[in-house]
Amino acid sequence: MNDTQEVDGCGRRLIACEYETFVFAQLMGSREASVSFRDIAMTLDGGDPTSSSKESNRGLLRCGDGGGHMGVLVDARSSLYRTEEFKEKDLRPGGILISVIGRPPGSKTCEQMCMDGAKA
């Protein structure tokens, strides 16, 4: 999780921002972890819309306008997690919390957060 800048001094890293919505990732624990953007997307929307309703109702979208957070839904069968680079760096596919929050009134905008991250 070292490819993005920490944005708030709390270990959270901004991974997406659109309009008034922020998506943060936070490492849980001290061991280095890495997940695919596909797994992050699955965490947000619940996965394949053609899958069963139980499976497609597991992502953060089920929280509606309330935002929320949850651990990344990892596809352990992904070839990414079996690459030499992944093994050499002793990474694990998990241990990352994804949070979706609306911008609190008076806080920085998406653009300001991105600009601050670029300067860090």
- Per residue in 65-106, pLDDT (tens digit) is 666 888 999 998 999 999 999 999 999 888 999 988 887 777
In a domain, 7, yes or no: no
In a domain, 54, yes or no: yes
In a domain, 101, yes or no: yes
Report the first-to-last Cα separation within the chain, whole angstroms.
Answer: 16
In a domain, 106, yes or no: yes
Mean pLDDT of the chain: 78
Give me the number of domains the chain comprises. Answer: 1
Order of strands across the sheet with 12-18?
A: 12-18, 21-27, 96-102, 68-71
In a domain, 77, yes or no: yes
In a domain, 93, yes or no: yes
Q: Which range has the worst mean pLDDT, 9-13, 42-46, 51-55, 111-115?
A: 51-55
In a domain, 1, yes or no: no
In a domain, 63, yes or no: yes
Range of the domain at 30: 12-119
